[in-house]
Amino acid sequence: MAMMRLRREDPRVVGTFRLHRRLGAGGMGVVYLGSDKRGQRVALKVIRPDLAEDQEFRSRFAREVSAARRIRGGCTARLVAADLDADRPWFATQYVPGPSLHDKVNEAGPLSPAQVASIGAALSEGLLAVHDAGVVHRDLKPSNILLSPKGPRIIDFGIAWATGASTLTHVGTAVGSPGFLAPEQVRGAAVTPATDIFALGATLAYACTADSPFGQGSSEVMLYRVVHEEAQLAGVPDALAPLLASCLAKDPADRPSTLSLSLRLKEIAAREAHGPSGGPLENGSGAGTGWERAERRPSDRPTGQRAEEYARQRTERRTAGTSSPRPHPSRPSAPRDSLSRPAGPASAAGKNPRKTGGRTGRRAPASRPTGRNGSRTPVRTTSGGRRPGPDRRLLRQRVIVFVVVTLLVALGIAAAQGCQGPARGLGVERPAPVAPSSGDVDGPYGVGEQNP
pLDDT tens digits along 209-268:
999 999 988 989 999 999 999 999 999 999 999 999 999 999 999 999 999 999 999 999
- What's the confidence (pLDDT) of residue 425? 44
Examine the domain organization and report whether 259 and 123 are in the same domain.
yes
Q: Rounded distance, CA 349 to CA 196, Å?
A: 67
User: Residue 424 pLDDT > 60, yes or no?
Assistant: no
Examine the domain organization and report whether 11 and 147 are in the same domain.
no
Asked, for residue 237, whether it belongs to a domain, the answer is yes
Q: 81 forms bridges with which residues in the sheet?
A: 92
Examine the domain organization and report whether 164 and 138 are in the same domain.
yes
Angle, in degrees to the nearest 10, between helices 193-209 and 258-272 = 20
User: Residue 451 pLDDT > 80, yes or no?
Assistant: no
Q: Rounded distance, CA 58 to CA 297, Å?
A: 53
Percent of the chain with pLDDT over 70: 61
- Average per-residue pLDDT for the chain: 73
**Helix or strand or coil: residue 252?**
helix
Domain boundary among 270, 296, 322: 296
Going from the C-alpha of 216 to that of each of 63, 219, 307, 350, the distances in angstroms are: 35, 9, 42, 69
Domain boundary among 240, 274, 296: 296
Q: Output the domain CATH number for residue 126.
A: 1.10.510.10
Examine the domain organization and report whether 76 and 139 are in the same domain.
no
Asked, for residue 327, whether it belongs to a domain, the answer is no
Contacts of 371-374 with C-beta under 8 Å, sequence gap 24+, read 371/335, 373/332, 374/332
Q: 145 forms bridges with which residues in the sheet?
A: 154
Residue with the larger pLDDT of the pair 389 and 251: 251
Local structure of residue 349 (DSSP, 8 states): T
Please, what's the largest Cα pairwise distance for the chain? 151
**Cβ(149)–Cβ(98) below 8 Å:** yes
Q: How many structural domains are present in the chain?
A: 2
Q: How confident is the model at residue 308 (pLDDT cuts 50, 70, 90)?
A: low
Residue 354's CB: how many other CB atoms inside 10 A?
Answer: 17
Q: Rounded distance, CA 8 to CA 12, Å?
A: 10
Task: Give me the active site residues, please.
Answer: 139
- Mean of the pLDDT values across residues 307-327? 56
pLDDT tens digits along 134-180:
888 888 999 999 999 889 999 876 555 544 333 333 333 445 578 89
Q: Rounded distance, CA 444 to CA 414, Å?
A: 14
- What's the confidence (pLDDT) of residue 68? 74
Domain range enclosing 1: 1-95
Examine the domain organization and report whether 127 and 68 are in the same domain.
no
pLDDT tens digits along 50-98:
888 888 888 877 877 887 787 876 688 888 999 988 999 998 988 988 8
- What's the confidence (pLDDT) of residue 317? 56
Examine the domain organization and report whether 88 and 102 are in the same domain.
no
Judged on CB neighbours under 10 Å (0-12, 13-18, 19+), 423 is: exposed
Examine the domain organization and report whether 193 and 170 are in the same domain.
yes
**Helix or strand or coil: residue 380?**
strand
**Helix or strand or coil: residue 17?**
strand
Residue with the larger pLDDT of the pair 421 and 167: 421
Asked, for residue 251, whether it belongs to a domain, the answer is yes
Domain boundary among 271, 296, 321: 296
Going from the C-alpha of 279 to that of each of 273, 282, 298, the distances in angstroms are: 9, 10, 11
Q: How confident is the model at residue 196 (pLDDT cuts 50, 70, 90)?
A: very high
User: Residue 379 pLDDT > 50, yes or no?
Assistant: no
User: Residue 311 pLDDT > 90, yes or no?
Assistant: no
- What's the confidence (pLDDT) of residue 364? 46
Examine the domain organization and report whether 136 and 266 are in the same domain.
yes
